[in-house]
Structure 1
């Protein structure tokens, strides 16, 4: 829609007010024409000084029968101010100026006629004020709608960023729990093969495999660090292994593991995944940091809680130096916290290690 420049609109309004004064033409004395000219010229001040423009139109309402200049001034004042008391006073002042007999010594002065004229003037002065207030409300509503739309856009962006952050955190956690689990197992097996093999070619191949596995673990550690930094604390977005896969995990762990106890059948999927990941991480740490140790996985439950305790014995041989950033233990604590539980880990009195997961039923 084409918008006219403000100065052009002001000139048109002044021209309309001048025409209103000239068309009335009942009294063309220089004094009254000067008052009418001041009222018309005051409209040029209406944008920056609406109250001053209105005040300058009052003498014209008192001395002349002009309608355009006061109406325009009232509309501008109502559009720019939020002071309802001032607007009521402006309506009354305009109505009194337009209906009061002037000069006061008029011979045909009749009070009833003045009251009727005041009532008409009151309705006439209230119309531009109501229109100005309507335009002000429309402008406020438009600005409010723009603010609401901007707020919704901002919320959508925040939601998209939160989803992306959770996905990054989930990818980082799965890389640590799954990929690093398998690569560390390869490194440990390659190290054992390097020590036990007698063929020089096999020893060299095992050494290369172990070195590449260690390098891969180091790269994974850096990638997990970056993903966790970008993703923050996230929750699972995709299905994970459950307790049905626990036996397979123990059999493929590469260490001697004893499984004791059981858990209720009605456990939810989040709790089962958390227990699985806890056992997986604990056994991975046993392989990495306690070579030759045996482990005990104890599933337990009571009336209020359920969980798992993974305990390993003292290592029987030196550990293979593998990269570690302790993200696994941090991730286990986060998983437990998401379900309202707790995770604790630490060394035992017999130089072993214990990890305990406790979740509410």
Structure 2
């Protein structure tokens, strides 16, 4: 259903105000007729100039016993402003004008003036209260719409944050798991290429190594995009634990010595962080120090626990594999999430990576 045109509503209100004056049985002088005409015409300005409309109805309120025009003006003023002092000043002015004697020489007894003022005050206050009620309802409706929009925006932000964490986690797991396996394929293919004597085997190994290197390069770009979209904060998901550490060492493709042990009651996030640290460190050994041996040392005391991975220097040239150092950055982030630290750097005879976590 279409709403009525504002001008049609205003013309209807003017007609009601005119009818209110015409039904008055008293004789209307020319001055009173002019005041009534001004009051009725002023209603056409109520949407843009509500205060002016109210002022234009005051002479008619004083001279005539009309009710419609002043009531419409007071209602419009109350609906358009929240200035309480102005509103009650308008009510008081209308009450005084309606209860003041007209013509000026006509005298009323004090009791009659008081009763007339009280009646006028109650009558003028009614449209103001109604206008304020409508304004409050409109403001509340607008506020509810704003709250709903804010909630929708908050839900969108939450969904984006969840998606960002998932993207970052996918990027991290792609680097830790997929790149780990592909780099191992590239290293094994390079070793096969050097050791093979059959030309077909050498060519096949060269092709495998080249495709593995290209795949690692693509993975590096994908991880960069996922991490950029996902931010820096991610949640650790249930993945390998310390029970899988021996299998990781056996499948690393390098000579690794495991020393020390950790308590079985360590929390799952800490176990996963230990596992990922060892995995990334051994991946870097294969990529950057072929032929080197590594030592994985697990340790713990009353306050902290961790792992230290050291490796010797390479004894043959390294296969050039793409690297973006996201692995070391990810390890530092994992440690920071658990309140620990991760340090890595070259030593006199190789390289060292150390993870330290609070107990």
Distance 1:279 1:8 in 2: 80
Matches within 5 A, 1:92-241: 92-106=92-106, 109-236=108-235, 238-241=237-240
Distance 1:237 1:309 in 2: 21
Residue 51 of structure 1 pairs with residue 76 of structure 2: no
Deviation, structure 1 residue 238: 3.4
Kept in 2: contact 1:167–1:237 (CA 8 A): no
Residue 355 of structure 1 pairs with residue 358 of structure 2: no
Distance 2:357 2:43 in 1: 76
**For residues 6-44 of structure 1, what are the alpha-carbon distances to aligned partners after superposition, in whole Å with 9 as ceiling and x for unaligned?**
100000000000000111131221111111111111111
Deviation, structure 1 residue 266: 2.0
Deviation, structure 1 residue 168: 1.1
Deviation, structure 1 residue 253: 0.6
Deviation, structure 1 residue 71: 0.3
**For residues 215-241 of structure 1, what are the alpha-carbon distances to aligned partners after superposition, in whole Å with 9 as ceiling and x for unaligned?**
111111111111112212242363211
Which residues of structure 1 form unaligned runs of 5+? none
Deviation, structure 1 residue 5: 0.8
Counterpart secondary structure, 2:23:
helix
Distance 2:236 2:116 in 1: 76
RMSD: 1.2
Distance 2:3 2:255 in 1: 83
Distance 1:174 1:209 in 2: 23
Which is worse superposed, 252-261 or 198-207? Answer: 198-207
Kept in 1: contact 2:171–2:226 (CA 8 A): yes
Name the count of aligned residue pairs: 359
Kept in 2: contact 1:344–1:356 (CA 8 A): yes
**For residues 234-293 of structure 1, what are the alpha-carbon distances to aligned partners after superposition, in whole Å with 9 as ceiling and x for unaligned?**
423632111110010011111111111122222111111111000000000001111111
Distance 1:338 1:266 in 2: 19
Distance 1:271 1:96 in 2: 81
Counterpart secondary structure, 1:225:
helix
Counterpart secondary structure, 1:346:
strand
Counterpart secondary structure, 1:96:
helix
Kept in 2: contact 1:167–1:234 (CA 8 A): no
Distance 1:229 1:27 in 2: 84
Counterpart secondary structure, 2:296:
strand
Matches within 5 A, 1:13-92: 13-92=13-92
TM-score normalised to structure 2 length? 0.97
Distance 1:237 1:127 in 2: 64
Counterpart secondary structure, 1:24:
coil
Distance 2:59 2:27 in 1: 15
Distance 1:206 1:95 in 2: 103
**For residues 72-126 of structure 1, what are the alpha-carbon distances to aligned partners after superposition, in whole Å with 9 as ceiling and x for unaligned?**
000001111111101111000101111122224335x221121111111111100
Deviation, structure 1 residue 201: 2.1
Deviation, structure 1 residue 59: 0.6
Which residues of structure 2 form unaligned runs of 5+? none
Matches within 5 A, 1:241-252: 241-252=240-251
Distance 1:59 1:183 in 2: 93
Kept in 1: contact 2:236–2:269 (CA 8 A): no
Which is worse superposed, 64-73 or 37-46? Answer: 37-46
Distance 1:119 1:339 in 2: 74
Kept in 2: contact 1:295–1:313 (CA 8 A): yes
Matches within 5 A, 1:254-273: 254-273=253-272
